[in-house]
Amino acid sequence: MSPAPAKPVDRQLPSDEARALLGLTRDLVERELHPRAAEDEAAGRFPREVFRTIGEAGLLSLPYGEQYGGGEQPYEVYLQVLEELASGWLAVGLGVSVHTLSCHALATFGTDEQRDRWLPGMLSGEQLGAYCLSEPQSGSDAAALRTKAELQGDEYVVNGTKAWITHGGFADFYSAMVRTGVEGSRGISCLLVPADSEGLTAAAPEHKMGMTSSPTAQLNFDGVRVGRDRLLGDEGQGFQIALSALDSGRLGIAACAIGVAQAALDLAVDYAGTRQQFGRPIADFQGLSFMLADMATQIEAGRALYLAAARRRDAGIAFSKEAAMAKLFCTDAAMRVTTDAVQVLGGYGYTQDYPAERYMREAKVLQIVEGTNQIQRLVIGRHLSGK
Ligand SMILES: Cc1cc2nc3c(=O)[nH]c(=O)nc-3n(C[C@H](O)[C@H](O)[C@H](O)COP(=O)(O)OP(=O)(O)OC[C@H]3O[C@@H](n4cnc5c(N)ncnc54)[C@H](O)[C@@H]3O)c2cc1C
């Protein structure tokens, strides 16, 4: 059963343009995402054409500069758009966030010539990107990656396996962290790899607990030749690039988490207002209305936290610690809120008749991706101790 359209979130937005953008996003969610999300999730079908529609609407390039075809929007606006998309369908919200992450290396560390050549295509909405850091043996300890790139003349020859790649096998380009030098974080570089490179293949998508319409796959590099001109930043700068992308990406995950939590709350409030027990709507029982109040409070707190971090980013102030805090808090809140939404719906919450169980399965992955929540605590702890 699809949830009834909820009242729009009462947002504080910086401009009329931002208000129009959020309105456009909500329309798109109602028209393109709600009608098919449950069915495509159940079938494990990747909605590639939805990304084209989103791209045509200009929503695949919001935080990047206008001269390259981006939307030139502040992060606080981009993230709220992401939140709305994720509230309709996490696989789409997270997909937009991953695409944005995959453009970061070129947009931020590329030369003018590289940006002129490749960025407009990546931001046009036609191409979809993926970000390749994790490997089978290196997840949290990302600096232990082994995929090797050896320079032969004017080309790098890449061999190795990347794991858990969102859009793996469906993307048009991959921003890939590879080892070009010594062991550890200083021997890593970033390459922009076209998806149709010879020797680059994707395994079948993983069978996941949730977000089944978003493909997650291993990528195998078997002697893949990548032009030296596709090195982004300097040799050895790849780990710095990866972490810088993740600071921004984590804010995207935080916004997606609040989107999923908001969808779960809207469903729970709607259900509690109509479901009757003991001759009254269950929302009249204090035990339940307090639960709804706690859910709403966690969502508002999470939204305030990710927006505060985004506003620091927009102002050019350091935001790495705040991004880790927002990712940690918002994704833990989403897990609690979606679990409580299942409880509010009682037995129906545990069935696929309502999307509450889907929201709960979706929330779980957000505590794992782009640095598990243990790693976020580690990042925050290091900031506190100055290490
Ligand atoms: C659906 C999905 C999509 C993904 N998409 C991408 C993608 O597009 N690109 C990409 O590069 N990666 C992607 N990932 C990979 C993701 O980033 C990793 O799964 C994550 O970083 C954790 O790595 P791991 O799975 O190897 O777990 P491990 O690192 O093996 O961790 C296992 C457990 O140990 C804990 N742990 C590890 N080290 C510490 C420590 N020092 N202190 C405390 N606890 C610790 C972890 O928190 C976790 O609970 C995706 C993963 C999933 C599930």
In the structure, what pLDDT confidence band is assigned to residue 264 with cuts at 50, 70 and 90?
A: very high
pLDDT at 149 over 70: yes
- Spacing, Cα 131 to ligand 1 middle (Å): 14
Q: Distance between CA 11 and CA 187 in Å, rounded?
A: 44
- Spacing, Cα 164 to ligand 1 middle (Å): 9
In the structure, what pLDDT confidence band is assigned to residue 4 with cuts at 50, 70 and 90?
A: low
pLDDT of 1 reads 57
Choose one of 369, 376, 380 to mutate for the ligand 1 pocket test, by most ligand atoms within 8 angstroms of C-beta.
369
Answer whether 165 contacts ligand 1 (Cβ < 6 A): yes
Instruction: Please compute Rg for the chain using Cα positions.
Output: 21
- Spacing, Cα 371 to ligand 1 middle (Å): 6
pLDDT of 387 reads 78
What CATH number labels 16-122? 1.10.540.10
Token reading at 323: 């991004």
Answer whether 368 contacts ligand 1 (Cβ < 6 A): yes
**pLDDT one-digit tens code per residue, 57-104:** 999 999 999 999 999 999 999 999 999 999 999 999 999 999 999 999
Please name every residue paired with 76 in a beta bridge, in sequence order, or none if there are none.
Answer: none
- Please report how many Cα atoms fall inside a 13 Å half-sphere around the Cα of residue 25, on the Cβ side: 29
Answer whether 366 contacts ligand 1 (Cβ < 6 A): no
Please name every residue paired with 224 in a beta bridge, in sequence order, or none if there are none.
Answer: 158
Nearest CA to ligand 1 atom 13: 164
**pLDDT one-digit tens code per residue, 361-380:** 999 999 999 999 999 999 99
Answer whether 369 contacts ligand 1 (Cβ < 6 A): yes
Average pLDDT, the chain: 96
pLDDT of 271 reads 98
Axis crossing angle, helix 373-385 with helix 320-344, rounded to the nearest 10: 140
Considering only residues 348 and 12, tell me which one the structure prediction assigns the higher pLDDT: 348
pLDDT of 5 reads 65
Nearest CA to ligand 1 atom 7: 165
Percent of the chain with pLDDT over 90: 97
Does the annotation mark 56 as catalytic? no
- The string of DSSP codes covering 176-240 is EEEE-SSSSGGGEEEEEEETT-TTEEEPPPP--SS-TTS-EEEEEEEEEEEEGGGEESSTT-HHH
Fold of 129-237: Butyryl-CoA Dehydrogenase, subunit A; domain 2 (2.40.110)
Q: Cα dihedral sign for 254, 256, 260, 263?
A: positive
Q: Distance between CA 230 and CA 109 in Å, rounded?
A: 12
- Spacing, Cα 9 to ligand 1 middle (Å): 32
Answer whether 166 contacts ligand 1 (Cβ < 6 A): yes
Q: Does domain 240-385 have CATH number 3.10.20.30?
A: no
Sketch the domain layout of the chain as residue ranges.
16-122, 129-237, 240-385
Question: Which runs of consecutive H residues, i.e. helices, occur in the chain?
Answer: 16-28, 37-43, 48-56, 75-88, 90-109, 112-123, 238-274, 286-314, 320-344, 356-366, 373-385
pLDDT at 3 over 70: no
Block residue for tokens 């929007």: 73
Summarize the confidence of residues 164-171 as an average pLDDT.
98
Token reading at 218: 């291993």
Q: Is the pTM of this model over 0.75?
A: yes
